[in-house]
Amino acid sequence: MPTRLISTSRVVLSDIVSASPPASLNDGEKHLYSKLFEKFQPSKLVVQDISGGCGSMYQVEVVSPAFKGLNMVKQHRLVNETLKEEIKTMHGIRLTTKAAA
């Protein structure tokens, strides 16, 4: 029984995306997180600095109802447009998008 309780609460927690960036993020990650949250109202949002320190490479995952009915190129275009200025300063960005169910 306790096991079931825990797994249920995990599911619920993972579906809630906080409007304010998690405290564990660095400044660059927080900036991207806030912009993406505002634009996409995501049901899942992960922003991770994968540069190893220089802040020039990020991994981003967005699951949002805004992507419904769009193919992958169009989904990525929306994110690219939102982070247009930021991407110019990066070496790379690893992007995963998905339409929220």
Partner 1 sequence: MNFLRSASTLALRSTAGSHILTRRAALPATTFAVRHLSDSTKKVIEDAISGNKLVVFMKGTPRAPMCGFSRAVMQIFDVQGVDMEKSLKSFNILEDEELRSGIKEFSSWPTIPQVYINGEFVGGCDIMVTMHQNGELEELLIKEGLVEPETEAHPRD
Residue numbers at the binding site for partner 1 (CB under 8 A): 27-28, 31, 34, 51, 53-56, 72-73, 76-77, 80, 84-89, 92-96
Instruction: Report d(CA 60, CA 73) in Å as an integer.
Output: 15
| Nearest to partner 1 of 10, 91 (CB atom) | 91
Q: What is the smallest separation between the CB atom of 12 and partner 1, expressed in angstroms?
A: 28
Nearest to 50 by CA among 73, 70, 69, 32: 32
Minimal distance, residue 10 CB to partner 1, in Å: 26
Distances (CA, A) of 97 to 38, 84, 87: 16, 16, 16
What residue type is assigned to position 77 of the chain?
R
Q: Give whichever of 42 and 58 is closer to partner 1, judged by the CB atom.
A: 58
How far is CA 42 from each of CA 15, 26, 92, rounded to the nearest angstrom?
Answer: 9, 20, 22
Indicate the residue among 4 and 88 with the shorter CB distance to partner 1.
88
Write down the least CB distance from residue 6 to partner 1, Å.
Answer: 31
Q: Whose Cβ is closer to partner 1: residue 7's or residue 89's?
A: 89
